[in-house]
A and B are shown apart, each in its own frame.
Chain A
């Protein structure tokens, strides 16, 4: 089965995504080979649902986005693999948050990855997963200059062998 990429998108929005091609400077292939066996690998998750921990982290800045609709908060949050689902919130103005609030695993399946690791399908999960807020301004400067270097440093610190990303 080939997925219809526009099935759930309002029809009038389709031209904003379809046929736009790669971003400037992002035309060529990038490739990091996955060398290990999956059962010996450490895996990390990243969601763009704007997840944060209510008990200890500030939400993504949606107030500024309300005032500056072209702007999106480029910061990131570290979500421990052991985080209590009831403590996970999301700040994202572009989706209905009810389902993710009721089950954060549909955006960041940290508990499930832990179970898969316990069964040795993968070697282990990182102790920290990540979230960003997927709506960003056109230039992506915040992601490029700060968020991605920080994420890469943390992925290396945690000896992640691979990353599963999921947009909201």
Chain B
């Protein structure tokens, strides 16, 4: 997804990416980054927790509008309110994705990430 941000930014539209993997977004050279330490599928926070969602959205808007230079990254200081072991299990699909099944069948055969090469 950082590359999607880059292509849209290159067309003249400012972008900010809210991501669980801000270090990867930096490596992929996204223009503006907000990092969240949340499980995958939860970019703006817990379901039903409007205050948390608002904190993330407001930070994203401020980073979008107020960043002075390419590569600006700001991480949000919110701890995920679910124990790690439980949260780690909860975000994963009930069935392994097709690419994960393929990799598990032949672990040396591919380079694809389980959430997609650009999904993060």
Which positions in A face B, CB cutoff 8 Å?
1-10, 13, 16-23, 26-34, 36-38, 41, 43, 46-49, 65-70, 72, 93-97, 99-100, 102-103, 105-107, 109, 112-113, 116, 121-122, 132, 134-138, 140, 143-144, 148, 151-152, 155-156, 160-168
Q: A72 to chain B: which residues have CB within 8 Å?
A: 116
Tally of chain B residues near chain A (CB < 8 A) = 84
B41 touches A41 (CB 8 A): no
Q: Closest CB of chain B to A126's CB: distance in Å?
A: 11
- Check A102/B47 contact, CB under 8 A, given A17-B24, A29-B31, A38-B61: yes
Taken together as a complex, chains A and B put the C-alpha atoms of A82 and B28 apart, in Å, by: 33
B114 contact from A13, A32, A68, Cβ within 8 A: A13
Instruction: Give me 19 A-to-B residue pairs in the complex whose CB atoms sit less than 8 angstroms apart, sorted by A's number.
Output: A1-B76, A3-B37, A5-B20, A16-B111, A20-B27, A30-B70, A32-B12, A41-B65, A47-B43, A69-B97, A95-B40, A105-B47, A112-B44, A112-B54, A121-B61, A161-B14, A166-B19, A167-B43, A167-B120
Supposing A26-B28, A30-B6, A132-B4 touch, asked if A94 and B14 sit within 8 A by C-beta, the answer is no
Using known A-B contacts A30-B6, A65-B98, determine if residue A43 contacts B61 with beta carbons closer than 8 Å.
Answer: yes
The reply to whether A8 and B75 form a contact with Cβ atoms under 8 Å apart is: no
- A143 & B93 in contact (Cβ 8 Å cutoff): no
Chain B contact residues, CB within 8 Å of chain A = 1, 3-24, 27-29, 31, 35-48, 50, 53-54, 57-58, 60-62, 64-67, 69-71, 75-77, 84, 87-88, 90-95, 97-99, 101-102, 110-120
- Are the CB atoms of B91 and A95 closer together than 8 Å? yes
CB pair B98 A66 closer than 8 Å: yes
Contact of B61 among A5, A9, A23, A122 (CB under 8 A): A122
- Give Cα A43 to B65, complex, Å: 10
Among residues of A, the one whose C-beta sits closest to the C-beta of B48 is A103
CB < 8 Å: which of B1, B50, B110, B114 contacts A10? B114
